A = this chain, B = another copy of it.
Amino acid sequence: MTAPLSPENPLVRTLRDLHRAEGRRHAGAVLVEGRRAIDGFLAGAWVCDLILTPTDQDPPDTWPAHLCRHVSPKAIARLSQTKTPSGWFARFLLPKPEPLDPQRGGLVLVGVGDPGNVGTLIRSAAAFACPQVVCIGGADPFGHKVIQASAGALCQTRLSIHPAACGPELLAGAALTALVVKGGHAAESLPRRPRWLVVGSEAEGLDAAWTAACSEHITLPMARTSESLNAAVAGSIACYLLRQSW
């Protein structure tokens, strides 16, 4: 390896640009932090072009050694987005978006704002073989916290990203199933066929246009004393129950 990356190296600035959505879009790349997260991403299909490791640690033998270089403690502090930086970073190139296949179904997140929820839902979708995830508004799916929560699932997922104003006409003609807090059917009662599970924002749920566009509504049965489930948990249970739609 060459000398450890110093905080003054222009590469540090280039990598810090990936902390912002605009910088990621411009560079067509994301920065993944943490050894375990990097492991998950290396196992996926995205192309890695740079790995940084702390000066006192060498990368595992299974990692591409020619992409690795050490990084100084001061540069780690500048690059990290966590409270307790591990000193492991990797840059991955974003793949070209694949076209949406409305008839095949999948998961739609409409305005899900918490990045931990978005990452956890993408992780659950991947676990239950969901073929594609559509994000409409909400947290940027390539942000740091989404990447961490997705635990590598992000790069196994066919992802389609749209602005908050995008309405259900995006999936015109496809079967849409809304997850709603009350009044819906049991997920187990739905016929087996391709469909989109539509999950709304944590605070407000789905807006009128999306609700009206969904021909099916499901609700998880809950104890009367309970106000609600965590949004990522509710969406993940629905993914589990509808996994045979995919």
Contacts and interface: CB of A to CB of B under 8 A. Distances in A.
A149 B237 contact: no
B227 A152 contact: yes
Contacts of A229: 123-124, 127, 236
B128 A222 contact: yes
The CB with the most chain B CB atoms within 10 A, among A43, A123, A128, A227, is that of A227
B233 A220 contact: no
The CB with the most chain B CB atoms within 10 A, among A151, A156, A230, A236, is that of A230
A227 B40 contact: yes
A81 to B, nearest CB: 13
Give the number of copies in the complex. 2
A188 B87 CA distance: 43
B120 A228 contact: no
A220 B127 CA distance: 10
Nearest to A236: B233
Contacts of A225: 126, 156
Contacts of A151: 227-228, 230
A129 interface: yes
A149 B116 CA distance: 13
A152 B228 CA distance: 10
Interface of A: 40, 43, 120, 123-124, 126-129, 149, 151-153, 156, 220-223, 225-230, 232-233, 236-237, 240, 243
15 contacts: A43-B227, A120-B230, A123-B230, A124-B230, A126-B226, A127-B220, A127-B222, A128-B223, A151-B227, A153-B226, A156-B225, A229-B236, A230-B232, A230-B236, A233-B236
